[in-house]
Amino acid sequence: MKKFLLTCALLLIALLLAACGGGPGGPGGGPSESGGEASGELADQLSVYNWADYIDEQILVDYQEEFGVEIIYDTYASNEDLLAKLQAGAEGYDVIFPSDYMVSIMIDLELLAEIDLEQFDNVENMDPQFMNAPFDPGNQHCVPYQWGTTGIGYRAGNEYFEANPPESWAVMFDPEILSQYSDGGINVLNDPRELPAAAAIYLGLDPNTTDPGELDQILETILAAKPFWKTFNSEDYPSSLLVPDEVILSHGWSGGVAQAYYETYDDEAEDGNWYYSIPEEGAVKWLDNICVTASSERYNTAVHFMNYLLDAQVGASITNYTYYGSPNLAANEFILEEILEDPSIYPTEDVQEKLIWLTEVDDDAALLYDELWTAVKSSQ
């Protein structure tokens, strides 16, 4: 009888432990290989792969000190670089930050883990307009991180721009206009979707076009303008090109140009050296996201870190550093007033109506975009 009661007790304990532990995606998780998670505990390390200069690294230090998780941090320059790294078999990364259209590509390729929003206490902080996006219905794989636009940064006080404010993409693509000021230096984003999208919008075409004839027009437009461009840089252009005045105009992301403005801000003049323009033809609007890789063995720690980034004060710290818009409504209380009131970071409604999302294209069109980009980069 005692043996029977002992067996029942052990069985009951086992069932209770199983219920508390959950499955692979549950709160408790399960043991994994060395360096992974013990049941109910955070892993010793977490590998984070993010865009360059896209978080205040003090946030990483604070997380490490508070929770005892060492953050292994690495950066990439474009969505395509991120995709190539994962497709090449890199399995060490846990948390990544792909943009909208890349999320849908990675979902199709089964490169992202599914998440459960009930595990995110801070998801209630998010602005509903950035949740349940078409590229990730129901936020089954990612949560929003930062958003912004892609436009034109130009040097304040430049004689040419004083007389001709860059209100059109023509300043980047029209050879006749380029010839008048390009000696000062022009940078374009080293990005195989963003640059063709800008050319497409300039031509009045859909930046997500899959029409071979329209892609040929886009290529011809880029190749005609390329001799006037000095650099292709999307990784560190604010600090390496804009702030030191290595160029006078740059195709750029809103926050990157804002960083250059505030880094060159003069208290006496009450102004910075760089202005930002969203061209009259329209521009790309994008949303970057926080996701867990499908290969991660530290899912629970990844979710814990993601939830930490959704905290209102942490979210504000990110935006106060990057100068990109925050999809975290609760963070507004802590975001610097000059950022919240800056229309280059938070565009007015009439400007927002001209903004366009980049979307995933099918495999055949993706091949055409690859060929277009190869032609752009290989041309002299």
pLDDT of 38-76, one tens digit each? Answer: 666 899 999 999 999 999 999 999 999 999 999 999 999
**Separation of alpha carbons 179 and 186, rounded Å:** 11
Closest Cα partner for 325 from 196, 89, 145, 174? 145
pLDDT in tens, 321-346: 999 999 999 999 999 999 999 999 99
Flag whether pLDDT at 22 surpasses 60. Answer: no
Give the number of domains in the chain. 2
- Residue 308: which domain range? 40-147+287-340
Residues 325 and 307 placed together within one structural domain of the fold: yes
CA-only gyration radius of the chain, Å: 23
Give pLDDT, residue 91.
81
Residues 91 and 171 placed together within one structural domain of the fold: no
Residues 296 and 359 placed together within one structural domain of the fold: no
Residues 271 and 316 placed together within one structural domain of the fold: no
Residue 1, in any domain of the structure:
no
Higher pLDDT among residues 12 and 275, named by residue: 275
Residues 252 and 265 placed together within one structural domain of the fold: yes
Return the DSSP state at 324. P
Average model confidence (pLDDT) across the chain:
90
Residue 141, in any domain of the structure:
yes
293 phi-psi bin (left φ>0, alpha ψ -120 to 50, beta other): beta
Residues 370 and 224 placed together within one structural domain of the fold: yes
Flag whether pLDDT at 222 surpasses 50. Answer: yes
Return the DSSP state at 239. I
Flag whether pLDDT at 169 surpasses 70. Answer: yes
Flag whether pLDDT at 160 surpasses 60. Answer: yes
Residues 153 and 44 placed together within one structural domain of the fold: no
Q: Exposed, middle or buried: residue 310 (CB in 10 Å: 0-12, 13-18, 19+)?
A: buried
Instruction: Provide the pLDDT confidence category of residue 8 given band limits of 50, 70 and 90.
Output: very low
Residues 171 and 227 placed together within one structural domain of the fold: yes
Residues 101 and 165 placed together within one structural domain of the fold: no
Residues 253 and 177 placed together within one structural domain of the fold: yes
Residues 224 and 368 placed together within one structural domain of the fold: yes
pLDDT in tens, 254-296: 999 999 999 999 999 999 999 999 999 999 999 999 999 999 9
Residue 330, in any domain of the structure:
yes
**Separation of alpha carbons 243 and 254, rounded Å:** 15
| E strand residue ranges, the chain | 45-51, 70-76, 95-96, 142-155, 186-188, 231-232, 249-253, 274-277, 283-292, 355-357
Q: What is the pTM of this model?
A: 0.85
Q: What CATH number does residue 177 fall under?
A: 3.40.190.10
